[in-house]
Amino acid sequence: KAGVTQTPRYLIKTRGQQVTLSCSPISGHRSVSWYQQTPGQGLQFLFEYFSETQRNKGNFPGRFSGRQFSNSRSEMNVSTLELGDSALYLCASSFHRTSGGTGELFFGEGSRLTVL
């Protein structure tokens, strides 16, 4: 079964631009979450979507947004890019759980964003 697919894998932008990253979850997975990984701050939760609804959001400015489509694919957008937004952005999908807390997350290889 295909894993989590993220596109693009690498991209370079300049300050002030905006960027859209895409994530296709594992077939049958309806929850998609996003994480930012930087050397300084480590892995930080951005947001999670389930059935096209944002279910949880991390402590990031409003420049970071996301959405989920009816086929569970998700996109995240960062507007007005800053140098500090340079990071590896990881998407994870998981099978829907109605109880029992966070389950196993399956991660993609990430989209590495460089802001110049």
Partner 1 sequence: AQKVTQAQTEISVVEKEDVTLDCVYETRDTTYYLFWYKQPPSGELVFLIRRNSFDEQNEISGRYSWNFQKSTSSFNFTITASQVVDSAVYFCALSEGSLIQGAQKLVFGQGTRLTINP
Binding residues vs partner 1 (CB under 8 A) = 3-4, 31, 33, 35, 42-45, 48, 50, 55-56, 58, 88, 90, 92, 94, 96-110, 112
State the DSSP string of 57-114.
E-S--TTEEEEE-TTS-EEEEE-S--GGG-EEEEEEEE---SSSS----EE---EEEE
Compare residues 81 and 94 and give the one whose CB is closer to partner 1. 94
Shortest distance in whole angstroms from residue 71 CB to partner 1: 18
Residue 115's Cβ-side half-sphere holds a number of Cα atoms within 13 Å equal to 18
The amino acid occupying position 116 is L
Q: What is the closest distance, in whole angstroms, from the C-beta atom of residue 94 to partner 1 in the complex? A: 5
Closest distance of CB 16 from partner 1, Å: 27
Nearer to partner 1, 62 or 100 (CB): 100
